[in-house]
Structure 1
Amino acid sequence: MGSRENFGELLQQYSTCDISDALTMLGSPHGGCLPDISMWSPQRQEGHTRIAGPAYTVHFVRRGTEPSTIKEHYIDSVPAGTVIFISAPPDAANAVYG
């Protein structure tokens, strides 16, 4: 596969269905579908914006949970060209980013 810098360009030529079919053939559960994800930027689910790239996952937890062993703030370790995927407790009462 190409470098991280051209990953998005490489995938732009394929539809979501093409990518899902390929992931299914490679054994990815549910064709790589992650249910209940929606884009919130620049506007929620609006326009023709598409994003693609390697995922950098961040899992927010409730206060009082065992602290992370990561020595730096997560945002300072995000590699260039990645898409940040943030997960938070479902009943979080505030924004988790932005």
Structure 2
Amino acid sequence: MIGALAAEALDEAGFAVLTAASAEEAEVILAQEAIDVLFTDIDLGGRDGCDLAQRALRAQPGLSVVFASGRSRRCHGDRIPAGAAFLAKPYRLPHLIQELHRAAQGRSFS
């Protein structure tokens, strides 16, 4: 449900949004579509968002990545790629939109 709300807010903010229910489904999309920003939760239930991001960056090296997690960035250590943005949950939708705009422009700061 949170993912659907985030996707709706991003769509309303002018982003073209592609959604996936799992890391595996996201990889299929990434193999077929060139995207600017990957927004993913770290804890996906199967393979995690860090693994997804590493694979996505190998396929699309210019990709910006924004992670979300209920745990602090430090908890994930060096698994988060350098330059990736991080949103601690719970996050506010305006903050998400701002971070995605930054990432789309290649300026992730979190």
- Normalising by structure 1, we get a TM-score of 0.31
Q: Which has the higher helix share?
A: 2
Structure with more relative contact order (C-alpha pairs < 8 Å, separation 6 or more) = 1
- Normalising by structure 2, we get a TM-score of 0.29
